């Protein structure tokens, strides 16, 4: 004889087991709405949001570095462009240091989400201190050269050139090291398709951060354009003599 298993709910109301509503409790009360991180456009995102911000900033840096590379090939006629883009770089470079530094602190402070995500590959962790040191060195020496003018010491120029070479090399290594994860970082699977998730949590905050970093660099470059003249005249003089 089949037995119809039922459970008593409330006063005299009986509901078969397993037929509880998905959005409420078995007595008919609705569950409180869960706070979806996707509805937090500024602060949501968690570990995935941090990775997206770091990757997006890295891509911007690669583009700016490519422009810097072109100016180095024709430094004398493009010295003003070199100086301007070099100053713009300060904003995104600082943002990338902040995003990677945040992950570092959260991971080693035993944050559950970041510990579960795991540490970056060993090669990237070992090279990270060199990236940080060379980033600070190239930016500091570059600004120092700009402010001190063409008459600055040869040692300062040498330090700037060496730190720039090291910075470019290790920054490219870092970006290439993250390339295999770029698809997982920016794209999501949906019914067999891979597409960009425009509703990813924290998207607005990341856009504001990246555009803010670029804007800060542009403002700094505009403020310091008065120092470009000495270098432009210096390079033009050596070009004609």
**Rounded distance between C-alpha atoms, residue 52 and residue 186, angstroms:** 7
Predicted local confidence at residue 128, as pLDDT: 84
Predicted local confidence at residue 148, as pLDDT: 87
Query: How many domains does the chain contain in total?
Result: 1
Predicted local confidence at residue 221, as pLDDT: 95
Q: CB neighbours (10 Å) of residue 210? A: 20
Dihedrals phi, psi of 64, to nearest 5 degrees: -65, -35
Predicted local confidence at residue 17, as pLDDT: 46
Predicted local confidence at residue 187, as pLDDT: 56
Predicted local confidence at residue 110, as pLDDT: 86
**Rounded distance between C-alpha atoms, residue 215 and residue 197, angstroms:** 25
Residue 5 lies in a domain: no
Name the percent of the chain in helix, strand, coil, to the closest 5. Answer: 70, 5, 25
Predicted local confidence at residue 219, as pLDDT: 97
Domain interval for residue 190: 43-240
Predicted local confidence at residue 197, as pLDDT: 53
Q: What is the pTM of this model?
A: 0.71
The tokens describing 185, both together, are 């970082």
Predicted local confidence at residue 100, as pLDDT: 87
Below-50 pLDDT ranges, the chain: 1-27, 29, 31-38, 192, 194-196, 199, 236-241
Contact at 8 Å (CB) between 22 and 34? no
Distances (CA, A) of 105 to 91, 101, 102, 112, 125: 21, 6, 5, 12, 13
What residues pair up with 16 in beta bridges, in sequence order?
6
Picking from 1, 55, 19, the residue whose alpha carbon sits closest to that of residue 9 is 19
Predicted local confidence at residue 40, as pLDDT: 55
Predicted local confidence at residue 216, as pLDDT: 97
Residue 8 lies in a domain: no
Predicted local confidence at residue 220, as pLDDT: 95
Predicted local confidence at residue 237, as pLDDT: 41
């Amino acid at each position: 004889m089949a037995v119809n298993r039922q459970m008593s709910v409330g006063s005299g109301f009986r509901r078969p087991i397993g037929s509880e509503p998905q959005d409420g409790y078995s007595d008919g009360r609705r569950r409180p709405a869960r706070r979806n991180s996707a509805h937090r456009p500024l602060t949501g995102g968690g570990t995935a949001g941090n990775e997206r911000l770091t990757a997006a900033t890295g891509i911007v840096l690669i583009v700016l570095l490519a422009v810097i590379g072109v100016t180095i090939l024709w430094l004398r006629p493009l010295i003003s462009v070199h100086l301007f883009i070099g100053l713009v770089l300060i904003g995104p470079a600082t943002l990338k240091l902040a995003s990677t530094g945040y992950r570092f602190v959260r991971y080693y402070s035993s944050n559950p989400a970041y510990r579960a995500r795991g540490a970056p590959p060993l090669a990237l962790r070992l090279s990270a201190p060199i990236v940080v040191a060379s980033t600070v060195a190239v930016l500091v020496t570059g600004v120092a050269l700009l402010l001190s003018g063409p008459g600055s010491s040869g040692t300062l120029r040498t330090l700037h050139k060496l730190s720039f070479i090291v910075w470019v090399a290790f920054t490219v290594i870092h970006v290439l090291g993250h390339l295999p994860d770029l698809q997982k970082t920016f794209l999501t699977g949906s019914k067999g398709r891979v597409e960009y998730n425009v509703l990813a949590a924290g998207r607005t905050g990341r856009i504001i951060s990246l555009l803010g970093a670029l804007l800060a660099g542009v403002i700094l470059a505009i403020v310091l354009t008065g120092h470009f003249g000495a270098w432009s005249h210096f390079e033009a003089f050596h070009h004609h003599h």
